[in-house]
Amino acid sequence: MSVAVKSVSNARSVLGPTGNRVRCEPTEPKQREGPKPKESQQKQKPSRVTQIPKTVVRSNVSVDSCCSSDSSSSSCSATKLMTSKRKVKSSVKVVPDGVETEMMSPSRVVPVKRCGWITPFSDPIYTSFHDEEWGVPVYDDRKLFELFVLSQAFAELTWPAILNNRDIFRKLFDNFDPASVANFNEKKFSSGNTNGNALLSEPKLRAIVENAKQVLKVQGEFGSFSNYFWSFVNNQPIENRFRYARQVPAKTPKAEFISKDLMKRGFRCVGPTFVYSFMQVAGIVNNHLLTCFRYEGCNLNNKMDMKPRIESTEKLTEVSKNTHPCHD
């Protein structure tokens, strides 16, 4: 009995609390080091997806944290991936190659909208004429006479051809001085040839000379050629609101009335179509389309220059009434 007791006591001493703690110490680091590879892998995951949107990265992290079992991991990951794809589709706008850079570029040039008869293939000088001169109200007599002559030349030439030869026109007609043009002779007519070709026909040249003489008479009667023409519209441009080029007429009743008055005064080649074309060029009529960027620009120029013109015109009319009283 004594021997059996000793063996049992020896076994208990080996399996005592102290012995178990000593023998379990090398196994405890192994159990603690077991999940460390998973934690290191989780820490390394974000470095692999740095180029993926933040919404996707956050959804992947939540998948690893919430799906602990094999059975629930597949369903959880599927739902998270679906939500991440929806977020990416809603946040990212897919555009064709080369379009996104143009849309996002701050230096992108937006094309200017002009009247329908100005196209990307129009002569640059014609486009500049539309942007800078056409439709701007003109009150200077010499400038008005220049546009008057060029509008008459439009019956035989196109506007690009006229504008490209504008310097020749100015030299031929002495910088469009009506007093000088009125004294042209036969020799001056022959100088109207350019490289052996006549810039304008002889009847047209003679008509311009005759019209210069009538301009001088109008200046003596109304004080200026400008006062004569602007009196037909009460010194205020007609502002049409056409949206399409096909709506712009070739002539109007107002142009027909002015044409008849010009013919009575001895002007030549001044039909209603020519008169209306001249009125548009000189800004007496604003026929820029509503979609054209020059429509509001011409209106603004007119409002800035209208008040002094009205005051000067009223003074001239008062002087003319006092010097030339009307008798019933």
The count of structural domains within the chain is 2
pLDDT category of residue 62 using cuts at 50, 70 and 90: very low
Domain housing 227: 124-323
Whether residues 81 and 129 fall in one domain: no
**CA distance to 6, 26, 250, per residue, from 153 (Å):** 139, 110, 17
Residues 6+ apart with CB under 8 A from 145: 176, 178, 212, 215, 225
Q: Is residue 111 part of a domain?
A: no
Whether residues 172 and 294 fall in one domain: yes
pLDDT tops 60 at residue 268: yes
| Stronger pLDDT, 99 or 290, i.e. the higher one | 290
What would the pLDDT profile of 288-325 be if each residue is shown by its tens digit? 888 888 888 777 655 555 544 544 445 444 544 444 43
Whether residues 133 and 52 fall in one domain: no
**pLDDT value of residue 305:** 54
**pLDDT value of residue 13:** 45
Whether residues 162 and 299 fall in one domain: yes
Whether residues 211 and 165 fall in one domain: yes
324 is in an annotated binding site: no
Whether residues 178 and 55 fall in one domain: no
Whether residues 81 and 150 fall in one domain: no
288 is in an annotated binding site: yes
327 is in an annotated binding site: no
The answer to whether residues 305 and 237 touch, using CB atoms and an 8 Å cutoff, is no
| Stronger pLDDT, 6 or 120, i.e. the higher one | 120
pLDDT tops 50 at residue 66: no
pLDDT category of residue 61 using cuts at 50, 70 and 90: very low
Domain of 270: which CATH number?
A: 1.10.340.30
Name the strand (E) or helix (H) holding 239.
Answer: strand 238-239
Whether residues 165 and 296 fall in one domain: yes
Find the mean pLDDT for residues 187-214.
78
Q: Which of 33-42, 171-180, 288-297 has the highest mean pLDDT?
A: 171-180
Whether residues 79 and 194 fall in one domain: no
pLDDT tops 60 at residue 130: yes
**pLDDT value of residue 281:** 94
Find the mean pLDDT for residues 169-182.
94
Whether residues 83 and 129 fall in one domain: no
294-314 CB burial, b ≥16 within 10 A, e <16 = bbebbbebbeeeeeebeebbe
**pLDDT value of residue 105:** 46
Poorest-pLDDT segment among 107-111, 167-171, 206-210: 107-111
